[in-house]
């Protein structure tokens, strides 16, 4: 069982386009099968609350209250363009110190290369197993695949 669920995918679209899809939380319902809706000021900025409406593979759903931690748009770092979006879980489990989680979503693109999307949830606390790391990882895979389809469609031929 992964204690830190993750997913990664290569996207044939410019990093700036992929980043804009990630930040357009109002459009998640159009393309994202894992996070069907995100209630968040747009564009999100550090300190903003964000409520994620998550849909599990079994059809069940849940709301996850989070807080934006990092919004670092695409920037050149040693010849590689990088961007990072992160948010911290603020639900009852976190308030009680039972489950903590920070989700990192990172983009990178070398010149002329595809954009790589990597995501990981850094879980900690005594009840991490109850957070369902396996189902979170499966959701991350669905999210990554959908992000790829959305960005590549917008990028066009």
Pairing of strands 100-109, 80-89: antiparallel
Q: Edge to edge, what strands does the sheet with 80-89 contain? A: 6-11, 115-124, 100-109, 80-89, 61-77, 49-55, 35-39
pLDDT of the chain, 157 residues: tens digit per residue: 457 999 999 999 999 999 999 999 999 999 999 999 999 987 899 999 999 999 999 999 999 999 999 999 999 999 999 999 999 999 999 999 999 999 999 999 999 899 999 999 999 999 888 888 899 999 999 999 999 999 999 999 7
CA 65 to chain CA centroid, nearest Å: 14
Ordered structural domains, the chain, with CATH: 6-24+68-155 (3.30.530)
């Amino acid at each position: 069982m992964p204690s830190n669920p993750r997913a990664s995918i290569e996207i044939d679209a410019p990093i700036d386009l992929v980043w804009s899809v990630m930040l357009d939380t109002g459009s998640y319902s159009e393309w994202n099968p894992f996070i069907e809706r995100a209630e968040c000021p747009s564009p999100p900025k550090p300190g903003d609350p964000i409520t994620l409406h998550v849909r599990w593979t079994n059809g069940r759903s849940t709301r996850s209250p989070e807080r934006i931690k990092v919004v670092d748009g695409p920037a050149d770092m040693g010849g590689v363009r990088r961007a990072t979006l992160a948010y911290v879980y603020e639900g009852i489990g976190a308030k009680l110190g039972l489950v903590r989680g920070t989700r990192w979503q990172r983009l990178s693109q070398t010149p002329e290369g595809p954009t790589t999307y990597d995501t990981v949830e850094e879980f900690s606390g005594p009840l991490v197993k109850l957070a369902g790391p396996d189902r979170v990882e499966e959701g991350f895979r669905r999210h990554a695949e959908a992000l790829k389809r959305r960005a590549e469609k917008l990028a066009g031929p």
